[in-house]
Amino acid sequence: MRLTRRRASALLAVPAAVAALVAPVGGYAANRAAAPPAPVPEPAGSECRTSVEGSRTIAYCHNPYPSIDLVRLHTECVRWWDVDADGKAVAVGPGETVRLDDRCWKEVASAWVSHRRGS
């Protein structure tokens, strides 16, 4: 089988195309290694324990971190006519424990605590 001029140029173009595709990847990897590492976020947030006893909800939140955490107790009642409650936000300072409570007229469907980073 004889090699024609067209086949020879096609065979030479393939390694050039592969080299052109690989070159940007190598440059990207080199730039990425030189970039500074992303900052690690400081741990934050209180640890909360929530309990339901009849129509009352109680939550104890302890903040072991150096930043202030704003916690808020949310209570959802079972009965449609019973008003669900969202308590006011309470600041929990470093090393502090707070008690949050709320109630429904009848049964409690669920209760949870939301967190927001304080200033």
Task: Give the pLDDT confidence of 19-47 residue by residue, as tens digits.
Answer: 666 655 555 555 566 778 888 877 788 99
pLDDT at 105 over 90: yes
pLDDT at 76 over 90: yes
Comparing C-alpha atoms, which of 32, 43, 46 is closest to residue 96? 46
> How far, in Å, CA of 74 to CA of 116, rounded?
14
* pTM exceeding the 0.85 threshold for the entire prediction: no
Domain ranges of the chain: 47-117
